[in-house]
Amino acid sequence: MARTYVQATINGVATDFLCEPRQSLLEVLRDELGLTGTKEGCNNGNCGACSVLLNGRLVNACCVLGVEIDGAEVTTIEGIGNPDRLHPLQQAFLEEAALQCGVCTPGFIVSAKALLDKEPHPDEQRVRYWLAGNLCRCTGYDKIVRAVLKAADDMEPARQ
């Protein structure tokens, strides 16, 4: 099967790759580009483990084709903080113990970042509704919601 040449900006880096039209963005990220921080959960748009930002919008990478991102900007969990300098959301997830097995965590961080980029001070209900497309079988969500609210508070001085 012919592979298509695609050029995109991924985590701020100009990137090009070949992929088949039937390959999802999730497969391209993980299998072609080695960006395995984005997780595969349900692979049908329900669980949010593969949440990434596409041109600043939150999407499920399993419901996007690799060929569709030609010319686009993609941000994955690898583009949000790094081990030496965690994003305030990542720091808050650690401090609030908002993760257990960790498979859903990259998706939650990316999804929460999309919310805080748009609305720096969401209330608890807004956080819960926004994160409805991210499923977690370990934490019971309360700790995740607390971490997102804490990160929003922690990020406040940085904005002034």
Partner 1 sequence: MIDRARVTAQPVALLGPNPTLRMPVEAFDYVAPRSLAEAYAHLGNGRTSLLLAGGTDVIVQLREGRKRCDQLIDLKHIPELMRFGFAPDGTLEVGAAAPLAALYEDAEVLRRVPALVDAASIIGGTAIQSRASLGGNLCNASPAADSSAALMVLGARLLIGSASGTRELPVEELFAGPGVNTLQPSELLVQVRIPPQPPRSGAFYLRFIPRNEMDIAVASAGARLELNATGDRIEGARIALGAVGPTPLMAKAAAEALAGEVPGEEAFARAGELAAGVASPITDMRGSVAQRKRLASVLTVRALRGALQRAREAR
Residue 99 binds partner 1 (CB under 8 A): no
Residue from 5, 95, 102, 129 touching partner 1 (CB under 8 A): that is: 129
Q: Do 47 and 135 meet the contact criterion of CB atoms below 8 Å apart?
A: yes
Residue 73 binds partner 1 (CB under 8 A): no
**Helix (H) or strand (E) run with residue 10 in it:** strand 4-10
Which positions from 36 to 55 touch partner 1 by CB under 8 A, shown as an x/- string?
----x-xxxxx-x--x--x-
Question: What amino acid is encoded at 67 in this protein?
Answer: V
> Alpha carbon 51 to chain centroid distance?
4
| Dihedrals phi, psi of 90, to nearest 5 degrees | -65, -40
Scanning residues 1 to 40, which ones bind partner 1 (CB under 8 A)? 1, 4, 20-24, 27, 31-32, 40
Count the alpha carbons within 13 Å of 124 in the hemisphere toward its beta carbon. 6
Instruction: By CB under 8 A, name the binding residues for partner 1.
Output: 1, 4, 20-24, 27, 31-32, 40, 42-46, 48, 51, 54, 57-60, 62-65, 67-68, 111, 114-115, 128-130, 132-134
